[in-house]
Amino acid sequence: MRALIACFLLHSSIISVLAQLTLPSPPWLPPENSTGAIPSNNSYPNSHWSTLIGELLYFYEAQRSGELPSTNRVSWRNGSALDDGREDRVDLTGGYYDAGDFSKQTFPLSFTLMSICWGATDFGRGYDLANQTVYLDDMLRWGLDWLMKAHVEESRLYVLVDNKDIGNTYWGGDRSIPTPRPIYDINNSNPGTDVAAQASAAFAACSNLYAHRAFDNSTFSTPASLRDQTYADTLLTRAQQLYSFALNSSGGRKVYQKSVPEAASAYSSSGFGDELAIAALFLSWGTNDPAMFHAAEDYYTRYKLSESNRVFNWDSKVPGLAVLFSQIAQSRPETGRNLEQWKASAEQYFDDIVNKKGQSFRTDGGLVFWSGDSDHASLNPALNAAMLMHRYAPMATSEEKKKSYLSFSKSQLDYALGKNPMSIAYIVGINPNSPSNPHHAMASGGNDIGTIDTFPNQTARILYGALVGGPDVRDRFFDIRSDWPQTEVALDYNAPLLTLSSMHVISGTNDPFYTSLEAGAYAKVKPSGFPCDAAFKEGCEGPTLTKEGRIAMAVVLTVVCLIIAGLSAWWIRLLVRNARQNK
C-alpha cells in the first residue's frame, strides 16, 4: 500500500514537473537600483537587458491576487481577495490586479497575455539567454489559469471583478480589501464580442508558444523553451470555444460595455472588429487553417479597420494586424496569402510615424505622441509602436526602411530608459534615477485616498520592474503619487517592454540607456509645481495666483488698458490734426 502511495506521489510529482518549469532555489530577485548605474562589460548576453526581463516579470508577481504559493518572491505581499466569486458560487480567486488598485479586468489582461506570448514566440530566445524562461512560464500560467477559471462555460466569461469606481476606490494594503467584490460576466444573451475574442486571441497566442509553433526561423528567433503540448492543447480548445462565443452568441455582436456598463469607466471598448480579426489570425496560426486567415481578412474589410489604424493597445489591435498577417503569410504560405499587400499596409503605417506624417507627432524630447491616447499614459503607445517596428524590421522591403524602423524603435526605447529631458529611467527600481512614487496602493504603504500624496511621506516598498505612465506632452515628469496619468502602473504597460528587452538580449551586447545616467540627474531637473493632465488642472494655467493676486492682476490690467486707450486717442487726434494742417 505504502509503495502504491509512494508510486502515486512520484508519478504526480513527475506530472507537475512536466507541467511547469521548476522555479530555481534560491529564486532570482531584482538587484538594488544602484546596479543599474554600472555599465557592463558588454558581453553576450548582455547582463542589464537580461536583468530588465527579470524585473519586468517580477512586477507581475507583485500584482498577484488570491492565495500565494510558497515560491512567492515579493516578501511584502499576502494572499488576498480570497472570496472572489464565492457569493455567486464561482471561484474567481487568483489572477492579477490590473494596476495600482485591486480590480481584475479580463479585457486588458487578455491583451497583455496575447502580447507577451506573441513576443515570446517570435523573439523568445532572449528569455532563454537571460535565464528567465522559467519565470515567464510562471507569469503566464498565473494569468492563463485564472482566465480559464473565468471562462466558466463555453459561452460565459467573467470580465470584471470589483468595479473601478474612480474617486471611490479603496486605497490600502492587501489584507483589508473591501468585500463583497462584485463580479460581472458576459454570456449568450448579453455578449461582449471584443472581450470574448480578445480572450480567444490570448489563449491562441499562448497555445502557439507552448506548442512551440515557431515563425519562419530565418527571419525571427525561436520560441522561449517552455514547451508543454498538453497545456497548449487545452489553451487551443479554450481559444476555439471563445471564438465561437464571440462570433455566434444569440445576443448578437456588440462591445462588452453594452452588456456590462460597469466596465465602461476604466476599459471601454471602441469596437470589436479588430479583436475578431486578431483572434482569427492567431487561430489560423495555431491550426494551419487558411479559412481562418481569410476570415481575418474579411473582418479587416467589413469593419473598415484600416480607418482606425492609430495606436496598438488594449483597445486597438489594428496596427498589429498588418504585421501578424505578414508574418503568417511569409512563414506559412500554405495558410496565409497577400504577403505583399500586408507588408505595404504595415509599412504605410510605420513610414507615417517615422516621417512624422499622419496622426502622431514628436515631443521636443523626441517621444512619439498621439493626442488623446498618449495623454493618459504617454510611454505605452510609443513602446508598442517601437515593439511592432522592431518585430517587422527584418521583413522590410528595403534596407533603408529596415534601418529607419530599427532606429525609430531604439529612439523610443532609449527615451523610456533615460534618454529624455528628465534623465529618468521610467521603470521603478531599475536605476537611482527611477520614479519613486508609483500610483500603487500596496507599494505606497498608505491607507487613505485622502492623504495619498503625503502619507506615507516616502513610498514604503520599491515596486521593482513597473513601467509608469510617463511624462506629459512637454516631456515633464513630476513623480506625484496621485497623478495617475504619469505614475500609475498596469499589466499592459510592461508587455511591449518585455518583448523589446528579449529582442535586445538576442540582438546585441550594448547596455540599455540607463547605465549611462549620472547619479542625481533627475533630481537636478525635476520640475516643481504640478502637471497638466487628467488628474491635475493646476499645471495647465500659468503661474497660479491667489484670489488677492487675481484681483490685483485685474486692476493692473484695467489700468494698463485705460492708459493704452488714452494714448491711442491722443495719438489719433494728433494724426488727424497733422493731416488737416498738411492739406
Ligand X SMILES: *[C@@H]1O[C@H](CO)[C@@H](O)[C@H](O)[C@H]1NC(C)=O
**Residues lying near ligand X in the complex (CB under 6 A):** 32-33, 38, 40-41, 45, 47, 50, 76-78, 130-131, 173-175, 184-187, 189-190, 217, 243-244, 247-248, 259-260, 429, 432, 434, 436, 442, 454, 457, 462
**Closest separation between CB of residue 315 and ligand X, Å?**
20
Cα separation, 219 vs 330, whole angstroms = 9
Cα separation, 65 vs 102, whole angstroms = 9
**Closest separation between CB of residue 503 and ligand X, Å?**
15
184 vs 370, which CB is nearer to ligand X? 184
Can you tell me whether residue 141 is helix, strand or coil?
helix
DSSP result, 360-389 = -EE-TTS-EE-TTTGGG-SHHHHHHHHHHH
**Residue with the CB atom nearest ligand X in the bound state:** 173
Q: Which residues carry out catalysis?
A: 479, 488
* CB-facing half-sphere around the CA of 261: CA atoms within 13 A: 0
319 vs 421, which CB is nearer to ligand X? 421
Is residue 296 within 8 Å of 341, Cβ to Cβ?
no
**Closest separation between CB of residue 205 and ligand X, Å?**
18
Q: Give residues with Cβ within 8 angstroms of 452, minimum separation 6.
A: 171, 444, 446, 481, 482
**Helical pair 491-507 and 47-62, crossing angle rounded to 10 deg:** 160
Q: Which amino acid is at 576?
A: V
197 vs 388, which CB is nearer to ligand X? 197
Record the cell numbers describing residue 403, joined without a space.
534601418
72 vs 306, which CB is nearer to ligand X? 72
Record the cell numbers describing residue 500, joined without a space.
523589446
Buried b (16+ CB within 10 A) or exposed e, 80-103: bbeebbeeeebebbbbbbbbbbbb
173 vs 421, which CB is nearer to ligand X? 173
**Closest separation between CB of residue 460 and ligand X, Å?**
8
**Closest separation between CB of residue 94 and ligand X, Å?**
17
Cα separation, 569 vs 322, whole angstroms = 66
The candidate with the shortest Cα–Cα distance to 268, out of 201, 300, 316, is 316
35 vs 359, which CB is nearer to ligand X? 35
Cβ atoms within 10 Å of 244's Cβ, excluding its own: 14
456 vs 549, which CB is nearer to ligand X? 456
3-class SS string, 15-26 = HHHHHCCCCCCC
Can you tell me whether residue 481 is helix, strand or coil?
coil
**Closest separation between CB of residue 504 and ligand X, Å?**
12
Q: Which amino acid is at 415?
A: Y
Cβ atoms within 10 Å of 24's Cβ, excluding its own: 11
Is residue 431 within 8 Å of 57, Cβ to Cβ?
no
246 vs 388, which CB is nearer to ligand X? 246
363 vs 434, which CB is nearer to ligand X? 434
Q: Cβ-count burial of 438 within 10 angstroms (0-12 exposed, 13-18 middle, 19+ buried)?
A: buried
Q: Which amino acid is at 70?
A: S
**Closest separation between CB of residue 233 and ligand X, Å?**
18
158 sits in which H/E element: strand 156-161
Phi, psi torsion values for 451, nearest 5 degrees: -120, 35
374 vs 459, which CB is nearer to ligand X? 459
Can you tell me whether residue 211 is helix, strand or coil?
coil
**Closest separation between CB of residue 319 and ligand X, Å?**
25
The candidate with the shortest Cα–Cα distance to 263, out of 342, 338, 160, is 160
**Closest separation between CB of residue 1 and ligand X, Å?**
42
Cα separation, 497 vs 502, whole angstroms = 8
By DSSP bridging, strand 156-161 and strand 361-362 are unpaired
**Closest separation between CB of residue 289 and ligand X, Å?**
11
